[in-house]
Amino acid sequence: MVKERIEALRATLERHNYLYYVENRPEISDFEFDRLLRELQDLEQAHPEWDDPNSPTHRVGSDLTSEFRTVKHRFPMLSLGNTYSLDELKEFIDRIEREEGEVEYVCELKFDGTAISLSYLDGQLERAVTRGDGEQGDDVTANVRTIRSVPLRLQGEGWPKLFEIRGEVLMPYASFDKLNGEREEAGEQPFANPRNAAAGTLKQQASSVVARRGLDCTLYQLAGDEVQQMNHWEALKAARKWGFKVSEHGRLCRSWEEIAAYITEWDERRKTLPFPTDGVVIKVNDAAVRRRLGFTSKAPKWAVAYKFKAEQALTRLNEITFQVGRTGAITPVANLDPVQLAGTTVKRATLHNAEQIALLDIREGDMVYVEKGGEIIPKITAVELKERRADSEPFQYIKVCPECGTPLVRYEGEAKHYCPNQNGCRVQIVGRILHFIRRKAMDIEGLGEETVELLHASGLVGNVADLYDLNAVQLSPLPRLGEKSAENIIRSIRRSVDVPFQRLLFGLGIRFVGETTAKQLAEHFRSLDRLRMATREELLETEEVGEKIADSILEYFAKEENLLIIERLRAAGLRFEAEERKTASDALAGKSFVVSGKFTISRDELKRLIEEHGGRNVAAVSGSVDYLIAGDKMGPEKRKKAEKLGVKMLSEEEFMALISATERAEQRTEEEAQQPEQVKEENPVQGTLF
């Protein structure tokens, strides 16, 4: 009797969950839903033998921390080709119709979230996996179970025994605004946009955190042996019947004119949607036509994504203020009347430098056009001169540091102004410490911006070397810390002494020495002492190091205060020498590579493979570069320069083949060297591939 009641409650709750989160037509009150859920929770707690991972009670998530395991997709998750041009899109349609005649297309909104693949077995959610590199991704099933619009059990009938459905995990604007409000109140960095927030939330270790953040999920593509024969429009209708949240805004189109009309309509209407979209996906409807068109190595030939142009808004610029960076660089910031742009409320925008302000003749009180570069960073693109006040006056750029009052300087060849008071300007001091402890540098956990500000104000930390003199007794009395937090911070500081030399070098914050340049310097000089003693000519021999970087390095090591910090870091036990090189093979030994564009795997992974097989990564194309690995949307200037200099370009597939072929050749050479001479003579084609 109890088991039957549990099953009945689960079915009832799932039905009402679907009506509320997918159909948007609830039939019972929140109070009644919660009452039923509490009854089910009590019964399951009393009878753990009837627990089910797909029970509605698991949607609240768990506080247990778990690592994500990598699993292989049953069917590869290929990416789509992108275009921003209607002319290019028309060419795509014409190419298909030259091959296939008249074709039906399904136009759907392109959701701006993070891709997900859901597997269902016997009508129940089996697994949820991120896209990853397209071949394998992270198992995030526990987190996805908390998303109310994802069915844990399918409804209706006719669903295959085993299939996958792909879609996008989204963060609606309401959830995004609420989350960022909470983060700002807690003194944490807000997320840049809903897409980043959705991706970050989905990778939370505690599913209870995911459950609180209000994610949504829209599905748009079936995959599996039993669904391959279904036309796409039919598949979407079937998915809706099975309980999936499928967008009601899709449309079946039978001509270019209908496709263009859909794009025009939604380029405007998307602003009214409660979730982020960044384009339209156009897919061939007919399954047989899809099979004939096939795939490239990276994407289907029967689908493409048209990306909307960056959204623009007109608003008033109230005031120009200034930020001081850790290197002393001054950045002017436009403070705006709040305006909705690409789904978020924009209040500030970068103005870059004095030249940019003068070029656009930007003045306080102006009505300005703002857009999001890459849909992320707001920037001012123009002034509406018709709206300018009659008493408006040209903006006067500041002459002294807004933090410490030191007269600003402008170095030759640079657009920005700088505060030269490196060791007396509070913002620069705190900024250098924050840079030193960041994840890609020393990776010291527990020290946020507020804590570092507090340590500096308390006189405990005046430079990065002071961190290694701290103890838990000094930290625990500070506001918002306590004994446990203090001990965790000290442990993290102690662990950082084992960080590799290249990351220490990056963490020192030498002007113009970014992560890649630090890596090249560490590789070239192999120790901090050799780098410190290097001449300008020796520095210029290093890949990635030009005159500006070389002069900055010399200037850094010429300052006595920097040398004192270095000696204290040495005494604390930090690594001042590079580790011995470990390579999987010498397949790429002596070869240098530039990686540009988008690939099926991350660029970091490609660079890791290059180094793992003895090659070197270089940021810029030059005559000394051996190969340019060219991905989708590679920068046109890099391509042009590579062609001019005769640098060989490789696709991702050709690069992988280069590694494999060289490894096989090395392996054959080793095997032959180990064989008796007569065996080699009797088997002249041994190891040949046919």
The string of pLDDT tens digits covering residues 508-533 is 999 889 888 898 899 889 999 999 99
Tens-digit pLDDT profile for residues 237-256? 999 999 999 999 999 999 99
Q: At what angle do helices 449-457 and 426-437 cross, to 10 degrees?
A: 130
Q: Residue 29 sits in which domain range?
A: 2-60
**CB 499, CB 443: distance < 8 Å:** yes
DSSP one-letter code for 669:
H
Do 195 and 179 belong together in one domain? yes
Residue 292 lies in a domain: yes
Our answer to whether residue 440 is catalytic in this structure is no
On the 0-12 / 13-18 / 19+ scale of CB atoms within 10 A, 383 is middle
Indicate the residue type of 422.
Answer: Q
Gap between the Cα atoms of 504 and 521, Å rounded: 12
Q: What is the pLDDT of residue 203?
A: 85
| Boundary of a domain, candidates 517, 537, 571 | 571
Whole-angstrom Cα Rg for the chain: 29
The whole-number pLDDT of residue 682 equals 36
Tell me if 639 is assigned to some domain. Answer: yes
Lowest mean pLDDT among 214-218, 514-518, 625-629: 514-518
Q: What is the pLDDT of residues 129-159, one digit of tens each?
A: 998 878 888 899 999 999 999 999 999 889 9
Assess whether pLDDT exceeds 50 at residue 677.
no
Is the same domain home to 265 and 127? yes
The reply to whether 191 and 280 lie within a common domain is yes
Please say if the pLDDT value at position 471 is more than 90: yes
| pLDDT of 680 above 60 | no
Both tokens of 393, joined, read 């006056």
Instruction: Calculate the CA 57 to chain-centre distance.
Output: 32
Residues 6+ apart with CB under 8 A from 608: none
Q: How far apart are CA 40 and CA 44, in angstroms?
A: 6
* Number of neighbours of residue 29 by Cβ within 10 angstroms: 9
Task: Spell out the alpha helix ranges (H) of 57-151.
Answer: 86-100, 141-144
User: What's the pLDDT at 432?
Assistant: 96
Query: Which domain CATH number covers 441?
Result: 1.10.150.20
Q: Quick check: 48 pLDDT over 70?
A: yes
The CA-based angle 480-484-487, given to 5 degrees, is 105
Count of CB atoms situated within 10 Å of the CB of 40: 20
Parallel, antiparallel or unpaired: strands 627-630 and 70-72: unpaired
Q: pLDDT at position 678, please?
A: 44
Decide if pLDDT at 14 tops 90. Answer: no
Please choose, from the candidates 447, 449, 429, the residue with its C-alpha nearest in 3D space to the C-alpha of residue 486.
Answer: 447
Over residues 73-96, the pLDDT tens digits come to 888 888 888 888 899 999 999 999
Burial grade of 406 (CB within 10 A; 0-12, 13-18, 19 or more): middle
Residues 202 and 86 in one domain: yes
Q: Which residues contact 85 (CB under 8 A, 6 or more apart)?
A: none
Confidence band, pLDDT 50/70/90 cuts, at residue 389 = very high
Angle at 532 between CA 530 and CA 536, to 5 degrees: 95
Indicate the pLDDT class of residue 679, thresholds 50, 70 and 90.
very low
* Phi/psi at 267 (5° precision): -65, -30
Least confident of 30-39, 427-436, 577-586, 680-689: 680-689
Better pLDDT: 521 or 51: 521
What is the percent of the chain with per-residue pLDDT over 70, rounded to a whole number?
90
CATH of the domain at 30: 1.10.287.610
Give domain status of residue 368, yes or no.
no
* Alpha carbon distance 659, 666 (integer Å): 11
Residue 648, beta-bridge partner list: 627
DSSP-assigned states of every residue in 314-354: EEEEEEEEEEE-TT-BEEEEEEEEEEEETTEEEEEEE--SH
- Kindly state whether residues 154 and 231 are assigned to the same domain: yes
Inter-residue contact 578 to 500 (CB < 8 Å): yes
- The verdict on 239 and 272 lying in the same domain is yes
Strand-pairing partners, residue 304, are 81, 282
Bridge partners (DSSP) listed for residue 153: 124
Largest CA distance in the chain: 97
DSSP conformational letter for 440? T
Strand 367-373 vs strand 377-383: parallel, antiparallel, or unpaired?
antiparallel
Asked, for residue 356, whether it belongs to a domain, the answer is no
Look over the chain and give the mean of its residue pLDDT values, rounded to a whole number. Answer: 86
Count how many domains the chain has.
5
Please choose, from the candidates 435, 433, 498, 418, the residue with its C-alpha nearest in 3D space to the C-alpha of residue 463.
Answer: 433
| Residues ≥6 apart with Cβ < 8 Å to 403 | 324, 419, 425, 426, 427, 428
Residue with tokens 């005046």: 462
What is the enclosing helix (H) or strand (E) of 658? helix 652-674
Question: Is residue 47 in some structural domain?
Answer: yes
Same domain, 493 and 528: no
Measure the CA–CA gap between 330 and 493, rounded to whole angstroms: 30
**Beta strands across the sheet bearing 627-630:** 616-617, 592-596, 627-630, 648-650
Within this chain, do residues 623 and 651 fall inside the same structural domain, yes or no?
yes
Of 105-109, 203-207, 627-631, 651-655, which range is least confident? Answer: 203-207
Q: Are residues 150 and 15 in the same domain?
A: no
Do 182 and 287 reside in the same domain of the chain? yes
pLDDT band at 688 (very low <50, low <70, confident <90, very high): very low
Q: Report yes or no on 680 lying in a domain.
A: no
Q: What is the mean pLDDT of residues 210-224?
A: 93
**How far is it, in rounded angstroms, from Cα 407 to Cα 397?**
12
pLDDT at 60 over 60: no
**Residue 366 placed within a domain:** no
Single out the residue in 498, 518, 540 at which a domain terminates.
Answer: 498
Q: Are residues 177 and 296 in the same domain?
A: yes
- Report which of residues 213 and 15 the model is more confident about: 213
Give 510 or 41, the one with higher predicted confidence.
Answer: 510
What is the rounded end-to-end Cα distance, in angstroms, of the chain? 66
Residue 346 sits at φ, ψ, to 5 deg, of -100, 125
Closest CA to 500 of 439, 573, 445, 574: 574
* Separation of alpha carbons 633 and 630, rounded Å: 9
Is 259:253 a contact under the CB 8 Å cutoff? yes
Residue 654: phi, psi to the nearest 5? -65, -35
pTM of structure:
0.52
The amino acid that residue 561 corresponds to is E
CB 501 within 8 A of CB 577: yes
- For residue 35, give every residue at least 6 positions away whose Cβ sits within 8 Å of its Cβ, in sequence order, or none: none
pLDDT digits (tens, 9 = 90+) for 547-574: 889 999 999 999 999 999 999 999 999 9
**β-sheet bridge partners, residue 216:** 170
13/366: higher pLDDT: 366
User: Which tokens belong to 588?
Assistant: 């790429």
Element containing residue 435 per DSSP (H, E): helix 426-437
**CATH number for position 597:** 3.40.50.10190
Per-residue pLDDT, averaged over 407-414, amounts to 89
Taking the CA atoms of residue 370, residue 373, residue 374 and residue 378 in that order, the dihedral angle to the nearest 10 degrees is: -60
- Name the domain boundary from 307, 342, 368: 307
Distance, in Å, from the CA atom of 149 to the CA atom of 438, rounded to the nearest integer, reads: 36
Is there a domain that residue 180 lies in? yes
Q: Which single residue is written with the structure tokens 């088991």?
A: 3
For residue 27, what pLDDT is reported?
75
Which is catalytic among the residues 3, 90, 110, 641?
Answer: 110
Nearest to 505 by CA among 449, 464, 459: 464
H/E stretch holding 33: helix 30-46
Q: Are residues 238 and 166 in the same domain?
A: yes
